[in-house]
Chains A and B, each alone.
Chain A
Amino acid sequence: MKKAIAILSLILLPISVFAETITPNGSTRLTEVSKLQTPNLKEEVLPNGLKVILLKDHTTPISTFWVWYRAGSINEPIGKTGLSHLLEHMMFKGTHKYGAKSFSRIIQRVGGIDNAGTSKDYVFYFQKLTPENLHLSIELEADRMQNLIIDPKETLSERDVVMEERRMRYEDDPQNLLYEEVIATAFKNHPYRWPVIGWMSDIKNITREDLLEYYRTHYVPNNALIIVAGNIDVDSVLSKIKKEFGVIPPHMGIKTIDIEEPEQKGERRVFLKKEAELPYILIAYKTPNILHEDAPALEVLAGVLSGGKSARIYKGLIVERQIALWAGAEYIGLQRYPFIFYLYGTPVLEGSIDELEKALYEEIEKIKDEPPTEREVQRVKNQIEAEFIMGQDSIYLQAKMLGMFEMIGSWRLKDRYLEEIRKVTPEDVQRVAKKYLIEDKRTVGILIPTKAER
């Protein structure tokens, strides 16, 4: 088994703390937590459209600096998929002022680390370092928002690096390859259909001019967000940001995506035959994103089905019926546009994919027939709240959460989302299961392992 990534810390954590609901038996400490949060947050939009969010937390020794651009893979033209991600790589290849190889070196020299990531909706860059070194982040990030070189030779070599990355993450990973197939089948028109890393032949075709054009259009202050969090002096950090970023001119040509995915009318089924050790099934249902009123109930539904070892899929399919080696469910709502709720699993060695698929549907039907118990729903709510509090221990995660919500609409959605999760009833869970987890709206992917002749 590959190591389990705590995905829930990303999807489920996005919630703030309120003393009154979490401690029925009373604890004064929790009140302190909620006091700690929002009052220490300051937000400001600079005249050039750059939004800045600063979160003060004096209990941590470190700080973290983030720049977000609404420049994820959905913004790419056909035939150039992977452009956003390749540009993310090129952002480390130097500016006129700081040559190639300097960025990470400067950050690591002060004991910091830096990294970046690209999603379908956005791209982010971050550093973790001690507060007295924040000026480095501000200077370096402001510089590479304007002065990227994108050297032709470096572009070719970085394209090769990304192709290696694609081989590693997809070509040689049967489960990820199946995921790519399922998404490409589930979505026909919306740009969510292609993978963030891009199709191999598209990556090959990206030119320096493509990158420059994309950079000039999307890497502009009015398409960006800065988040600074940690043990920071809010005023001095803000004035330094204004000094370095305030002079960068906005760009008025940013297009918004206005593409709708047509309604799916009938199950889609896709098979992948590849050398693998074990079969795997992935079932994706189209669902709305967190901006929709049904999102909190979908989140709780995922928890009822798969939020731990006392949840239905683990208890029913893995422990009691022993049909699956592993299986689960997850709702991906933290997206700008409607995406998916999915179930997945691998049958036990002597079992079959058909039997597992049937069993997963049975779990869904049970909820459609009868709402989950009050206790199950309460368990999920308690897990979400507790994990949120635990997530607050990391200033890095706090900053990331703020950014992910702000990219969808506003960081304030985070608090509202938790509020709404608290209100979810067993009947709500049943209702959304009936509404979204239906045969005609699902795409089923099945990995059929093959063995090569040697």
Chain B
Amino acid sequence: MMHNARQMTLKNLISCILNPVILSLGIVLLLTVSPAYAIIDIKREVLPNGLTLLVVERHNLPIVRVTVGINAGSMIEPEEKAGLANLTVELLTGGTKKRTASEINEEIEFIGASLEPSGGYDYVTVSLSILRKDLDRGFDILSDILINPSFPRDELSRKKTRIKGSLIAKEEDPDSVARKAFKKALFGSHPYGRLIEGSPETLDRIRRKDLMDFHSTYYAPNNTVMAVVGDITIEEVKTLLARYFSGWKKKELKMPSPPKPQPIKEKQVISIDKELTQASIILGHPAIQRDNPDYYALSVMNYILGGGGFTSRLMQNIREEKGLAYDIHTALSSRKEAGSFGVSVQTKNESANTVIEETLKEIGYIRETHVSHEELSDAKSFLTGSFPLMIETGQKIANFLMAIEYYNLGLDYINKYPLYIQRVTREDVLRVAKKYLDLERFILVVVGNQKKVLLKFR
């Protein structure tokens, strides 16, 4: 069951999780063979209407998870109508030619299922979780919202109001404010540089017809991947598809070529003043795309520097030794068209300068000196050994399948990933740190009480 409201209870009830679980357990990051478990038998087939189908059978429980990924993310929407891709997918459940929004919600929730559309830069998804016994109902509704959405005007206007509200709420969260500024500085007018929700101004420009056009242009079976995991066989899936998706016909696709982000030319420091006790800091710069062969060496480097939770260098220095932050971590984001590297940390306003200095020192250090043999071997053994955790649930497997397909990693990626990681040497780590970490041209964002931060960097 999904709440659409902000939830704070978890934090209070189970108040304080010690380790901010930041092991960058990215799905794509952490795959390996662990002989007894690597048996995810992935079946892949491209159907006559062009739909790419991926199925993993999993019969532990009478449930099925379906994730539909459509190559219709914010990447291909016009800049002046930013938010269109997100609105289109979110309003799939806003009504169809046969069902109103409230009928869809009622039908889905009465059987205890969930149907969640979700926007994205590269692709958008619709996820269905359902009991096996209700599969027919689920596929019926799923096909209806994908093929026949009606985008009612009143639903559109309500959705816009709510998105505008959520954009304002984001301004209340220091980390969101920092991330938004960071993205914008990093990617400028490229779609990666804005929020998938768009802005109040661009939302006001979006009309019902824009959604209809966007849908009819890009929502096609030959532009879609469907991942199905659970108590079901590929034959059963195909039967369901024949029954409910037969009306979905292949289209001639005219995909706009995705824009290329411009590299940043110089260092940029952004201070945002807010009445806060802590400064939220992000420091980072562009990094690599997903298909760069250095991805694996950089993943190892990232784990050692700041991706490895408690054991990372930044965590040891800033939290364990100096007590300056609850959490500091680095993230390596490698999308299809561009990537980024960033350090995120919150510390009391007064310590912001120290934390930034120490962070730059650590980045400098890993660029200049080999990591130790032990650091390398610990990083590799985690990255290769944590695979079983990554396929713990059907939902995780479904997400993994989408990533494999979208980034062309191949069905044997599970077997290849540990080899790619094992191959990484100390020299590789040093080389990629030198090549991709940048102490000259970076973006620094500091959201906090600037009278107390007194930022030394400019």
Contact = CB atoms under 8 A, between A and B. Distances in A.
A302 to B, nearest CB: 11
Nearest to A383: B112
Interface string B305-346: 000111100001001111111110000000000000000001
Contacts of B388: 61-62, 111, 130
Contacts of B347: 164
B11 A6 contact: no
B169 A278 contact: yes
- Among B231, B378, B388, the most chain A Cβ lie within 10 Å of the Cβ of B388
Residue among A174, A325, A383 with most chain B CB within 10 A: A325
Given A1-B166, A275-B275, A332 B389 contact: no
A108 B323 contact: no
A30 B59 CA distance: 11
Contacts of A386: 111-113, 131
Interface stretch (B1-9, B83-91, B260-268, B422-430): B1-9
A310 B109 contact: yes
B386 A113 contact: yes
Contacts of B19: 92, 104, 114-116
B382 interface: yes
A195 B161 CA distance: 35
Given A179-B12, A196-B15, A325-B165, A6 B231 contact: no
Given A30-B62, A110-B381, A2 B16 contact: no
A218 interface: no
Given A27-B133, A108-B382, A156-B323, A318 B111 contact: no
A33 interface: yes
B325 A161 contact: yes
A164 B348 contact: yes
Interface stretch (B41-49, B217-225, B239-247, B390-398): B390-398
Contacts of A303: 1
A43 interface: no
A204 interface: no
Contact of A60 (B21, B320, B325, B392): B392
Band of interface residues on B? 35 or more
B282 to A, nearest CB: 15
Contacts of B382: 108-109, 111
Interface in A47-69: 57, 59-62
A115 B34 contact: no
Interface string B16-37: 1111010101000000101011
A394 interface: yes
Contacts of B129: 390
B326 A319 contact: no
A118 B347 CA distance: 22
Interface stretch (A165-173, A246-254, A361-369): A165-173
A101 B15 CA distance: 23
A242 to B, nearest CB: 27
A87 B18 CA distance: 10
A1 B6 contact: yes
A452 interface: yes
A277 B164 CA distance: 12
A161 B319 contact: yes
Contacts of B164: 349
Interface in A271-305: 275-278, 303
Contacts of A100: 320
A309 B350 CA distance: 44
B457 interface: no
B273 A10 contact: no
B13 to A, nearest CB: 6
Given A179-B12, A315-B102, A164 B112 contact: no
A378 interface: yes
B1 A308 contact: yes
Contacts of A174: 172
A332 B148 CA distance: 40
Contacts of B133: 23, 25, 27, 29-30
Contact of A179 (B8, B23, B169): B8
B277 A392 contact: no
A2 B378 contact: no
Nearest to B321: A157
Contacts of A413: none
A409 interface: no
Given A25-B133, A62-B388, A113-B23, A314 B4 contact: yes
Contact of A117 (B15, B109, B169, B322): B15
A276 B274 CA distance: 10
B53 interface: no
A363 B381 CA distance: 55
Interface stretch (A340-348, A352-360, A414-422): A340-348
B440 interface: no
Interface in A25-49: 25, 27, 29-30, 32-33, 36
Contacts of A60: 60, 392
A328 B8 CA distance: 12
Contacts of A57: 60
A393 B2 contact: no
A118 B20 CA distance: 13
A155 to B, nearest CB: 10
A395 interface: yes
Contacts of A163: 348
A336 interface: no
Given A108-B311, A386-B131, A59 B60 contact: yes
A176 B164 CA distance: 22
Given A115-B19, A278-B169, A309-B4, A164 B9 contact: no
A80 interface: no
Interface in A108-144: 108-120, 128-130
B209 interface: no
A142 B1 CA distance: 38
Contacts of A325: 161-162, 165-166, 169
Nearest to B32: A111
Interface string B276-319: 11100000000000000000000000000000111100001001
A32 B37 CA distance: 23
Interface string A375-390: 1001100111111011
A167 B346 contact: yes
A354 B120 CA distance: 36
A117 B13 CA distance: 10
B170 interface: yes
Contacts of A7: 3, 7, 9-10
A7 B12 CA distance: 11
B385 interface: yes
12 contacts: A4-B5, A10-B14, A27-B133, A29-B133, A30-B62, A33-B61, A62-B392, A88-B18, A164-B324, A325-B169, A386-B131, A393-B395
9 shortest A-B CB distances, which residue pairs?
A: A111-B385, A386-B112, A196-B15, A160-B323, A59-B60, A61-B37, A157-B323, A325-B165, A326-B5
Interface of B: 1-19, 21, 23, 25, 32, 34, 36-37, 60-63, 101-102, 105-106, 109-113, 129, 131-133, 158, 161-162, 164-166, 168-174, 231, 273-278, 308-311, 316, 319-327, 346-348, 378, 381-382, 384-389, 391-395
Given A105-B311, A157-B323, 12 more contacts: A1-B169, A117-B17, A128-B392, A157-B320, A164-B326, A275-B276, A325-B165, A344-B5, A348-B165, A389-B61, A392-B61, A393-B63
Interface of A: 1-2, 4-8, 10-12, 23, 25, 27, 29-30, 32-33, 36, 57, 59-62, 73, 85, 88-89, 92, 100-101, 104-105, 108-120, 128-130, 156-165, 167-169, 171-176, 179-180, 183, 195-197, 275-278, 303, 306-311, 314-315, 318-319, 322, 325-328, 330, 332, 344-346, 348-349, 375, 378-379, 382-387, 389-390, 392-396, 452, 454
